[in-house]
Amino acid sequence: MIQTDTNKINYFESVNKVSYEGKDSKNPLAFKYYNPEEVVGGKTMKEQLRFSVAYWHTFTADGTDPFGAATMQRSWNKYNGMDLAKARVEAAFQLFEKLGVPFFAFHDRDIAPEGNTLKETNENLDVIVSMIKEYMKTSNVKLLWNTANMFTNPRFVHGAATSCNADVFAYAAAQVKKGLETAKDPFLLSENHQKEICLVNPSNGRKMIVETDEPYVVLYTGNMLEDMLEDTFLIRGIPCQKHLGLCLETQHPPNAIHNQQLPYILLVKNKEYHSKTRLTFIVE
């Protein structure tokens, strides 16, 4: 765990880990019908149901509606700004552990506050995303999805991508770009970069080895392709489907231009730039 300004308060100290106790249990904080390990249709309930905690509804929303003021009282709401955002992360991972959920999801503005400028807003987001990643290293919970909140701020009164205001449209585009960068998590290679990337097909012994002088590689797996219509996009006559293929993109840090802690990546006019990536194919 990492240190924050909230001194690592246990927000759910009086709550035990929620477990299955059966339909006759009188415990209000117990699963009556959901038994994670019970097999149904060849899979456990945990595999079948795959619950996710929505960050906004659980940790950020205050219960305000058109007919009344906020009604949700949370102990971490005594903080403000970035301290509040950090406290929510601590509370979130404590709750994930209590519930035993496999996934969580968030909008960008759920987890980090807006700043006075887009740059400051992105810096706030970077801090909280880094904190979340640290917690995920020691947790079994995974990120199901992240997306952009382009409806809460009054600037989006006439829409985001559909706005008639060019400034709002540009802001929305920048916010979506930042969201994509948040989800696009590259693999950092070691210093020698020798045969670190190896793809193997066990059924026929084919192997592809990737060697590069670039420091990072991004893996694309086409997770969303199974939702496409069969005749929308074909690869060599075969309809696209989930994990039909993958792409490895060797590169510098994708978000280095926005992060001063990463190597400088802008190309200088009239200066040559060289990069080498070698693919080796063998059969064993």
User: In the beta sheet, which residues pair with residue 44?
Assistant: 39
Query: Is residue 252 annotated as part of the catalytic site, yes or no?
Result: no
Closest CA to 5 of 80, 70, 101: 80
Known catalytic residue: 62? no
Tell me which long-range contacts 79-85 makes (C-beta under 8 A, separation of at least 24).
79/5, 79/6, 81/113, 82/5, 82/112, 82/113, 82/124, 82/127, 82/128, 83/4, 83/5, 83/6, 84/113, 85/111, 85/112, 85/113, 85/124, 85/127, 85/128
Q: Which of 24, 65, 110, 252 is catalytic?
A: 110
128, 88 in Cβ contact below 8 A?
no
Which is the catalytic residue, given 5, 24, 107, 158? 107
Active site residues per annotation: 107, 110
